[in-house]
A and B are shown apart, each in its own frame.
Chain A
Amino acid sequence: MSIKPITKDCLEQVMQQNSSIKEQIYGLVSDFNKRFNKSGLTAQEKQAFSVLKENNLIQIPIEDEHWGGAIIAKGGMKIPVINTAQPRVYQYFVAWHEIYHLLYDINLDEKTHNVAIDMDINERKADYFAAKMIFGDIYKYYYSLEDENVIDRIIKCMDAYKAPYKATLIELYEQAVEVYGDMDLKHTVLNHFDDKPKNLEGKFEGLELDPELVRSSFVISFGGLEQKVKKAINQNTGVSYHKDNYEFLIELKKEIKKEWEDLSK
């Protein structure tokens, strides 16, 4: 999933698309909660990662600020990938976005899902599903905050729902316009939509919030592959390639880690 350059100019178009897919996506949210949220996890991001991990989630830092994740469909398997060089809030949103593709996208066949076309309806469905899994009544929460500064309030919403800046504003916009008919808030959102604060970490710290949320996690995980190969080594003593593959995996992990350490110097 590429992070979409939605701007205030196309926000209305996004709303129209959301409206056309609303019924379907609400149905899927309900289906997800019935079928997949069985472990009683309450933190939404843990829920998302738990489902992805059951499907061999690969977590890897990739030096591409526009690439959030993908589903790789190969040999009858669908493997989710998340770019952990992205700030955590994006990872959480991407996680839910990819869950849509993994569980509900009938267009996902034997090809890698890696679509970058803005406003593609399929992508909008994935984004809308992600938003509905993440946000509660953000409108009420927004007004419960006493900050005078709008950006501060938005940042507190990001923190509360663990959501990216624009996703937070889109949800706020939708509720303000469609549920509450709050034209003041509509204009406030529009005025701030394209002005994402430059130093989010600093803003979080300034508001005494945990800045980890807007930092990268750089997690490297090969979807439980290490454990699987280890098990295969123990079960198949006659073959040597499992041991080779295990060593290769460990080397690969070290190489990726080293590359990121070098980059961050």
Chain B
Amino acid sequence: MKGTIDDFKRYLSMDKSIKICILDNCSVEFLTRVQNEISYKMVFASYDIILIPQWVWNEVTDSNNRVNYITELQNALERVEIINEQDYTKLVDYKEAELYYLFQYSCDYIARLVSFMKRKITKNRPLEELEPYEEWLTTFYEQGLDGKELSNGRKQKKNAGEISIAVLSHILSFYYTELVDTITVFSNDRDAYEFISSAKRKFREDEKFKYREYISITFKSNDCLIYEWKNSGYINEGKLDAFVREYRQMRSTKFTRMKQDKSVEELDTTIDNQTFLEFLNDETVHIIF
């Protein structure tokens, strides 16, 4: 990390509308694989700053290729920041009860974690009696999330990265509305998309958050990136077929399709590479995730 969290906050409070990209490990992996054809300049030109939560960074470090890619990015771009989850409290000006809700709502889909938070974090007490953020956050990541030890000795924690991304994106969305222009999450992991979407629904139902201004959080999955690169001419038409077959797998894709009467159909279905290639030339289709 180049600067401290205070530097980062100062940067956010500069008088401009900041375009933020939050990177997930799976997207870094994808970008390292395509980097000979798609340079980082093509990928990140629209963003002022690239953020990587600490738990995502831990995953990145399992691969030298990924570390090299990010190091290169840090050297070339002015702002690539690794944000420690312990610093999230500074980002919300120590509103720790609210931060608790950001975590709780981001975990809403994982029954095991919902149960863990009730039993071990809040212990059914009012939030005013919550332990200091640094303490319960450690309990949350170390005891709450399922983990296994990798061959390199690192303790991998399931969904840690996605939850960190979800909380960070919502912090920026709610607490920096005047300063931030866009928040885009680069992830190909459906869990990350679902965690952020389900939290959004919970915030809309919660009196504490529902009337607040917020910045929308958008996504770029690998499919979205390929679509963008194709339209920007970064991938030569003649090589498109080979590119898709080399770098894309069949996956569940969320998209819209405009019908003949201009109404829009929302779909969420498994798309193979052949169909995806057809999508790339179909102007009625827009990929959401």
Contact = CB atoms under 8 A, between A and B. Distances in A.
B111 A239 contact: no
B110 A238 contact: no
Contacts of B2: none
Interface string A230-257: 0000001111110011001100000000
B11 interface: no
Contacts of A248: 111-112, 115
A249 B115 CA distance: 11
Contact of B159 (A237, A240, A249): A240
Interface string B205-222: 000000000000000000
B86 interface: no
Which of A237, A238, A240, A248 has its CB near the most chain B CB atoms (within 10 A)?
A238
A170 B112 CA distance: 45
B159 A238 contact: no
B190 A238 contact: yes
Nearest to B269: A235
B190 A249 contact: no
B287 to A, nearest CB: 14
A238 B252 contact: yes
Given A236-B190, A236-B252, A241 B270 contact: no
B270 A237 contact: yes
Interface residues of A, number: 10
A241 B159 contact: yes
A181 B57 CA distance: 83
Range, interface on chain B:
10 to 19
B194 interface: yes
A245 B251 CA distance: 21
Contacts of A236: 190, 252
B72 interface: no
B109 interface: yes
B191 interface: yes
A245 B110 contact: yes
Contacts of A237: 252, 270
A241 B191 contact: yes
Interface in B146-202: 146, 158-159, 190-191, 194
Interface in B75-119: 109-112, 115
A245 B112 contact: yes
Contacts of A241: 109-110, 159, 191, 194
A77 B252 CA distance: 29
A244 B190 contact: no
B110 A244 contact: yes
Contacts of B158: 240, 244
A240 B110 CA distance: 10
Contacts of B191: 239-241
Nearest to A229: B111
A53 to B, nearest CB: 21
A240 B159 CA distance: 9
A244 B162 CA distance: 15
Nearest to B270: A237
Contacts of B190: 236, 238-239
Contacts of B110: 241, 244-245
Contacts of B146: 244
Contacts of A238: 190, 251-252
Interface string B110-146: 1110010000000000000000000000000000001
A66 B194 CA distance: 41
A249 B146 CA distance: 15
Nearest to A240: B191
A239 B194 contact: yes
Nearest to B253: A238
B138 to A, nearest CB: 22
Given A238-B251, A239-B191, A239-B194, A249 B111 contact: yes
Which of A236, A241, A244 has its CB near the most chain B CB atoms (within 10 A)?
A241
A248 B112 CA distance: 6
Ranked 6 nearest A-B pairs via Cβ: A238-B190, A238-B252, A248-B112, A239-B190, A245-B111, A241-B109
Given A237-B252, A238-B190, 17 more contacts: A237-B270, A238-B251, A238-B252, A239-B190, A239-B191, A239-B194, A240-B158, A240-B191, A241-B159, A241-B191, A244-B110, A244-B111, A245-B110, A245-B111, A248-B111, A248-B112, A249-B111
27 contacts: A236-B252, A237-B252, A238-B190, A238-B252, A239-B190, A239-B191, A239-B194, A240-B158, A240-B159, A240-B191, A241-B109, A241-B110, A241-B159, A241-B194, A244-B110, A244-B111, A244-B112, A244-B146, A244-B158, A245-B109, A245-B110, A245-B111, A245-B112, A248-B111, A248-B112, A248-B115, A249-B111
Interface of A: 236-241, 244-245, 248-249
